[in-house]
Amino acid sequence: MASVTKRLLKELHDIRKEPSTAELASLGPVSDADLLRWRAVLRGPRDTPYAGGFFELLIDIPEQYPIRPPTLTFATPVCHPNVHFDTGEICLDILRTQWSPAWTLASTCLAIHVLLANPEPSSPLNCDAANLLRCGDGLGYQSLVGLYTRMFAYSAQ
């Protein structure tokens, strides 16, 4: 447990040196008493139907971190092919098979931000959103995503 605490304190120190970026509005522990549970708020990527939205992520960190990946889920409902709408589960290879201890919580959040702008409809958790993209209905996809962003993500911060 000492090594995970040391790693998380270092990451927290680095985050506090540069607390906010264009992609990441905030990142840090939910409480000072528990370093294994964090919260992040992503800004919607520019030039996407997520723009203007704020998306909350809950981060559960295993005691074996950074050897084992954290579990990140969206607390804000997100309409995206690679995000389960009801549970917030995220389908992203670095959260499973491609994890490396070189990833930090901040870099993992940035990878999720990139995923928002670059959906992968061939491995969907939201088949409705994925089907719109697979059928070439970009306008329908953008309209649906924009609707859900306006409904759920404008006041999430």
Enumerate the active-site residues.
91
Question: Which amino acid is present at 14?
Answer: D
Rounded to whole angstroms, the Cα distance separating 113 from 44 reads 8
DSSP state of 70: P
Closest CA to 77 of 153, 154, 155: 153
Query: What are the tokens at 110?
Result: 């940035």
Closest CA to 88 of 23, 30, 18, 153: 153
The residues facing 83 across adjacent strands are: 80, 90
**Do 118 and 109 contact (CB within 8 A), yes or no?**
no
Helices H, strands E: what count in the chain? Answer: 4, 4
Residue with tokens 């050897």: 67
